[in-house]
């Protein structure tokens, strides 16, 4: 079982959304604790020993890292499709 952590950016983004949408996204992200790489996640790249994936949640995308050694899924960024890939 992995732990799911939100970056500060992802946490702020979720707090700004309306409650219903925020709960929907949070619910989907919690599933990553059991299955850190679901079949609908897409591998994007490696950053050191960490793998970075994209997870689609409706019109939103979550970019996250899987830290296998520490059993952590770190949600780095959540946003709508065109903006999530901007730095």
Distance, CA of 71 to CA of 19 (rounded, Å): 29
- Give the model's pLDDT for residue 87: 64
Please state the domain count of the chain.
Answer: 1
How open is the CA angle 39-37-81, to the nearest 5 degrees? Answer: 75
Eight-state DSSP code of residue 36: S
The residue assigned the tokens 């949600």 is 75
The string of pLDDT tens digits covering residues 5-26 is: 999 999 999 999 999 999 999 9
Give the list of residues 6+ apart from residue 61 with CB closer than 8 angstroms, or none.
54, 55, 78, 79, 80, 81, 84
How open is the CA angle 57-66-83, to the nearest 5 degrees? Answer: 40
**Domain extent at residue 62:** 3-84
- Give the model's pLDDT for residue 53: 95
Residues in the chain, pLDDT under 70 = 86-87
For residue 18, give the CATH number of its domain: 3.30.2310.20
- Indicate the pTM of the whole model: 0.87
């Amino acid at each position: 079982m992995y732990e799911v952590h939100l970056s500060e950016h992802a946490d702020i983004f979720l707090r700004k959304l309306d409650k219903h949408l925020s709960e929907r996204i949070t619910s989907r992200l919690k599933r990553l604790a059991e299955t850190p790489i679901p079949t609908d996640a897409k591998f994007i790249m490696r950053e050191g020993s960490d793998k970075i994936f994209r997870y689609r949640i409706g019109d939103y995308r979550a970019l996250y890292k899987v830290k296998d050694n520490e059993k952590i899924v770190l949600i780095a960024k959540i946003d709508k499709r065109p903006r999530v890939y901007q730095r």
